[in-house]
Amino acid sequence: MKVLEEKILVEGRALNENVLKVDSFINHKVDPKLMHEIGKEFAEHFKDQGITKIVTIESSGIAPALMTAYEMNVPMVILKKQPSKVLNDDLYQTLVSSFTKGTSYELTLSSHQISEADHVLIIDDFLANGEAATGALRLLRKAHATTAGVGALIEKSFQPGREKLEAQGVHVYSLARISRLGKGVIEFVQE
Ligand code: G4P
Ligand code: NA
Ligand code: NA
């Protein structure tokens, strides 16, 4: 997506070979018009697939997921991160480990919000190692829902997230695919 790539080049900052800071339009301050364009792009790509809900992971996935849900005229469900196990019969839970941040959390979904009748699109800001998306897929399987795919704003293609998801038969659609980062260097996959 051209406008997102241009925004990344102008306002993104590569800290090192692994981390891209996008605090001025995604992770801290949020650009609503850009999020709306992103929502329209995901809605167009995933149209006519019978999607009933958009699922995202708190917190940075919420803005683009909401815009996508608005454009597709379906609800958005936010998967919550809880620090420790809260035992509750109505909650599906799965442990997710983050390599980038070196932390782990219980990703949770209430059984009241997603059912076997749902066909879900997962939206998140970054696709890095694919752990968050894989955890989301585990929760959706517990809910007996099906998944249309994973939409990411920024894919770090030099990390294994896409391969991990595709190996599970999941369709991945990323709006900006980064092939290389370095101090002051941001390169996109040539398509
Ligand atoms: P994975 O889900 O693909 O395996 O990613 P990973 O565990 O490596 O990433 C953990 C957190 O770090 C996620 O945010 C993810 O969005 C974020 N992240 C990964 N790579 C980058 C990067 O290059 N730049 C930025 N800005 N963030 C990155 P989170 O902890 O879930 O938090 P939130 O921002 O959604 O609240
Ligand atoms: Na995120
Ligand atoms: Na993030």
Atom 2 (ligand 1) nearest CA = 132
- Please, are residues 124 and 57 in contact by the beta-carbon 8 Å criterion? yes
Residue 9 within any structural domain of the chain: no
Give residue 96's domain range: 38-176
Residue 78 within any structural domain of the chain: yes
Which pLDDT score is estimated for 3? 98
Residue 184 within any structural domain of the chain: no
**Pocket flag, ligand 1, residue 132 (CB < 6 Å):** yes
**Pocket flag, ligand 1, residue 125 (CB < 6 Å):** yes
- Cα(35)–Cα(185) distance, integer angstroms: 24
Ligand 3 center from residue 27 Cα (angstroms): 6
- Please, are residues 180 and 158 in contact by the beta-carbon 8 Å criterion? yes
Instruction: Determine phi and psi for 85, rounding to 5 degrees.
Output: -70, 120
Residue 59 within any structural domain of the chain: yes
Q: Is the pLDDT of residue 44 over 80?
A: yes
Give CA separation, 12 vs 3, 18, 19, 174, in Å: 13, 13, 10, 17
pLDDT band at 86 (very low <50, low <70, confident <90, very high): low
Please report, for the domain that includes residue 156, its CATH number: 3.40.50.2020
ipTM passes above 0.85: yes
**Pocket flag, ligand 1, residue 127 (CB < 6 Å):** yes
Atom 24 (ligand 1) nearest CA = 20
pLDDT band at 100 (very low <50, low <70, confident <90, very high): confident
Number of domains in the chain: 1
- Please, are residues 56 and 25 in contact by the beta-carbon 8 Å criterion? no
Residue 7 within any structural domain of the chain: no
Q: Is the pLDDT of residue 87 over 90?
A: no
Residue 10 within any structural domain of the chain: no
Residue 101 within any structural domain of the chain: yes
Residue 190 within any structural domain of the chain: no
Nearest atom in ligand 1 to the alpha carbon of residue 161 is 3
Which pLDDT score is estimated for 85? 64
pTM: 0.96
